[in-house]
Structure 1
């Protein structure tokens, strides 16, 4: 590391492997990363090989030049991101905050944020984001509550458990949104109020994609929407995505959208197109998203 920094390296990919040790999710490995001389580094990827444990990143050095950060299975202390004043792109995979069930991300210059908690890694139950310049937000496999303050948000991709609570400022600039929601036992009527509340917060969206599970949930809860006006006045395109967990069988599920649901989604935008994505593309969609994220990281490299 010292050699890299002394030669003004701008990109560092660091993977830690401590040998054949037995690790448990609650046993963080303390790791102090010496970055005191890293004033030229712009892109940092830091990951832990072992799937089931984390590294506690304890360095408090200021990373003044860092613009892109990718962390994988890392435990951070509250306030870590304040040491990266020029951070614009942040990807967090199976990370958590030291001593807290909430994951807090507050940064004035952050533009692109991806948070993936991973199935089987439900180590946080609240995601708290304050990012006044955030343009693109991706949340996958994160279960719990969400507090999002991102007034400049233009794109939202949300894939995972139906949120218990989703609180956000007005998203007046939102252009594109994709929601793919599920629960352990399938979406059911108790999930309907929180899902409908989330839909209403996305009322300015133009390009909207919903998983078939959401349509089925709305079909079962028409009494909650039948007397409400459609909130989507700017909608240009509505896509119905196939079921998330296909089991690689690609079984076709016919989307039977009730009149009430169709009115709720489309009445305020009668010119919007409605498209059902074929079920054989369900796994392709997941792979495509992974490819898009990878390309985005490479573009920032």
Structure 2
């Protein structure tokens, strides 16, 4: 009896200790779960009843619902039930699917944009969410992560499209498994960008034009075509990682601050292009190359040496 009473009192005390935390700390705790589960905490006590309405973190996942209408209705109720005086610091959209998934995503993003969103993560089944150039107007955004998203130009064009020109404060950008449609060039011209990751991209884009004076870390991997070109202006670049099937076609003035470069090409074909890349990285302090590149470059030197030793005719 005493043990049971003591256990009950301990649970109450633990609950009171958690409830006594400031709203900001409770919001942070709830940010690790989906918004659906965060709302369910409102039944705990009067203290928790409206906590979710001022949460700056919105984590929506389709996995929490079996049917689209219920998910769509839930999103509408959440957005209308929030305290509109509270800004949205981060939004995470995961596992969106179906032809209407982009409609719901756009609804959430428009709301987030109007509430000064700073971080946006969109991860869905491949190419289910379509984002056009008109979607992007995120002046406060500092971190953007897109996975399995289609980037589509409003009108087909051969020009370089800058999707992120209205994201002037963007510092961290990741494009993973994104499909590009309707344009051949993608410009990433961001004055404050510090970290950029391009992974497993495919589609219409052949040229990446990167202008980022404060870029420190650049990771490019999973490139599966031979005709991708990278035009890069990043004088403060410190770390460069490239992992792809084919040779890296890189055009740059210089990387005077480069400290580390890791280059891995599965099927290098052009030894002269590999040598040209090494010349472009002449300032690097630490360079890692995979065996295939070394063998291709070594083959060129071997041919040169043999040619130099060929006996001269009379």
Q: TM-score, normalised by structure 1?
A: 0.62
- Name structure 2 gaps, 5 residues minimum: 1-74, 154-160, 306-314
Taking the aligned partners of 1:124 and 1:5, their CA distance within structure 2 comes to 41
Distance 1:129 1:172, change over 3 A: same
Largest Rg, 1 or 2: 2
> Are the equivalent residues in 2 in contact too, given 1:86–1:109 (CA < 8 A)?
yes
Distance 1:169 1:205, change over 3 A: same
Aligned partner of residue 261 in structure 2, secondary structure: strand
User: Which residue does 2:116 correspond to in 1?
Assistant: 40
Per-residue deviation, 1:64: 2.1
- Name structure 1 gaps, 5 residues minimum: 22-27, 227-301
Distance 1:83 1:5, change over 3 A: farther
User: Which residue does 1:255 correspond to in 2?
Assistant: none
Distance 1:137 1:194, change over 3 A: same
User: Which residue does 1:195 correspond to in 2?
Assistant: 274
User: Which residue does 1:108 correspond to in 2?
Assistant: 191
User: Which residue does 1:85 correspond to in 2?
Assistant: 168
Taking the aligned partners of 2:119 and 2:198, their CA distance within structure 1 comes to 18
Higher relative contact order (CA 8 A, sep 6+): 1
Taking the aligned partners of 1:68 and 1:127, their CA distance within structure 2 comes to 20
User: Which residue does 2:16 correspond to in 1?
Assistant: none
> Are the equivalent residues in 2 in contact too, given 1:5–1:40 (CA < 8 A)?
no
Taking the aligned partners of 1:157 and 1:206, their CA distance within structure 2 comes to 14
| 4+ long deviations beyond 6 Å | 28-31
User: Which residue does 1:134 correspond to in 2?
Assistant: 215
Taking the aligned partners of 2:300 and 2:255, their CA distance within structure 1 comes to 25
> Are the equivalent residues in 2 in contact too, given 1:112–1:137 (CA < 8 A)?
yes
Per-residue deviation, 1:103: 2.4
Give the structure with the higher percent helix.
Answer: 2
Correspondence 1:56 to 2:139: no
Aligned partner of residue 165 in structure 2, secondary structure: helix
Question: Which deviates more, 4-13 or 162-171?
Answer: 4-13
Taking the aligned partners of 2:148 and 2:97, their CA distance within structure 1 comes to 14
Correspondence 1:176 to 2:254: no
Taking the aligned partners of 2:204 and 2:119, their CA distance within structure 1 comes to 26
> Are the equivalent residues in 2 in contact too, given 1:134–1:152 (CA < 8 A)?
yes
Number of aligned residue pairs: give it: 212
Per-residue deviation, 1:70: 0.2
User: Which residue does 2:285 correspond to in 1?
Assistant: 206
Coordinate RMSD, CA, aligned:
2.9
Taking the aligned partners of 1:54 and 1:65, their CA distance within structure 2 comes to 22
Distance 1:199 1:54, change over 3 A: farther
